């Protein structure tokens, strides 16, 4: 049976995100993922508070990146959370959002090597090892945590491109596929299978998560309107190969990315067409969303993440998903 996760962006005062996490747990969600961007509330402060107010749900950063936050710092923060919520902590890591990193002059060079090396460093620290590492991106002379998580910490890798998907399937416990369209998951499936085969792993041991841009409401227009800003950010950060898969010219992504970098939100949002909404979000009424989720699940997805914006009203949208969407899949199982 597919598991359901939900992504929260801690842009609001901390208690709102915690309230939504509690609502998600009570509504039957299995995972809470909290995004990590410097301009929002801190991900680990938020997750620590979520740990205190929940009892069952699994949670973690979704995703952090190794360019702004060094992997030894990430390992320390995530391992600390395991003391607050034993057996409920996961770590999501990816190459980071190009638009956000550009704002602070951080160059995301060698993303494949950076993510792979970060995972290797964190795995060693989580295991209680003294890590000595020299790679293309990171050099760790001698690092060790003064405490060790009692349980193994699963590491999920956020991926979109072919090589990152293959890497995620090779070394990760799960892959967070940043996509919303069946065409992208069909493409991703081939790379994931190649990754597990290369590593001599069993595909069933990998949690394949659809990390979607999701917006639901009984009013279609409201659902679409809420999705537009998120789709703009996704398109602005998407590789040319991903845009090309949907027949989108590279200059569209460049135009949106440039507008976002200059904080010209009106210009960026005006470039988001219905074709972009269809390609980069699951958006609409409950019946429409059920239909689109079904198409994604056919591609071997084992966790479906209801990602930002969730809907025009987050509290209401969580209720709609739990009352009208997830029961469909639980009953089908």
Could you report the per-residue pLDDT of 235-294, keeping only the tens digit for each? 998 888 889 999 999 999 999 999 988 889 999 999 999 999 999 999 999 999 999 999
Give the pTM: 0.95
Residues of the chain predicted below pLDDT 70: 332-333
Q: What is the pLDDT of residue 183?
A: 95
Helix locations, the chain, DSSP H = 14-26, 43-53, 71-84, 98-103, 111-126, 162-171, 182-199, 220-237, 240-245, 250-261, 265-270, 274-280, 286-297, 314-320, 326-332
**CA pair distance 308, 35, nearest whole angstrom:** 10
Question: What is the spatial distance between Cα 90 and Cα 276, in angstroms, rounded to a whole number?
Answer: 31
Q: What is the pLDDT of residue 332?
A: 65
Parallel/antiparallel/unpaired status of strands 3-8 and 91-93: unpaired
**Residue range 104-129, pLDDT digits in tens:** 999 889 999 999 999 999 999 999 99
């Amino acid at each position: 049976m597919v598991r359901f996760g939900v992504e929260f962006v801690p842009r609001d005062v901390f208690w709102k995100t915690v309230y939504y996490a509690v609502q998600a747990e009570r509504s039957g969600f299995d995972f809470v993922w909290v995004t990590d961007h410097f301009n929002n509330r801190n991900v680990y402060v938020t997750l620590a508070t979520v740990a205190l107010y929940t009892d069952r749900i699994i949670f973690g950063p979704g995703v952090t990146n190794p360019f702004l936050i060094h992997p030894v710092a990430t390992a320390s923060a995530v391992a600390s959370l395991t003391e607050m919520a034993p057996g409920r902590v996961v770590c999501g890591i990816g190459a980071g959002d190009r638009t956000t990193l550009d704002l602070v002059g951080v160059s995301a060079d060698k993303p494949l090597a950076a993510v792979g090396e970060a995972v290797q460093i964190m795995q060693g620290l989580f295991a209680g090892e003294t890590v000595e590492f020299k790679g293309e991106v990171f050099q760790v002379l001698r690092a060790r945590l003064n405490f060790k998580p009692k349980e193994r910490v699963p590491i999920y890798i956020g991926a979109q491109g072919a090589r990152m998907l293959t890497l995620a399937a090779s070394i990760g416990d799960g892959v967070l596929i940043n996509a919303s369209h069946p065409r992208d998951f069909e493409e991703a499936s081939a790379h994931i299978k190649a990754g597990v085969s290369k590593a001599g792993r069993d595909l069933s041991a990998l949690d394949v998560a659809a990390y979607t841009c999701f917006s639901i409401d009984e009013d279609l227009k409201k659902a679409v309107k809420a999705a537009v800003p998120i789709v703009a950010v996704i398109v602005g950060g998407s590789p040319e190969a991903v845009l090309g898969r949907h027949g989108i010219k590279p200059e569209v992504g460049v135009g949106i990315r440039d507008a976002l970098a200059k904080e010209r939100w009106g210009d960026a949002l005006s470039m988001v067409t219905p074709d972009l909404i269809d390609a980069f979000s699951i958006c609409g009424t409950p019946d429409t969303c059920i239909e689109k989720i079904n198409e994604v699940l056919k591609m071997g997805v084992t966790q479906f993440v209801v990602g930002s914006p969730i809907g025009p009203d987050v509290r209401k949208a969580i209720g709609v998903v739990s009352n009208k969407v997830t029961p469909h899949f639980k009953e089908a199982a």
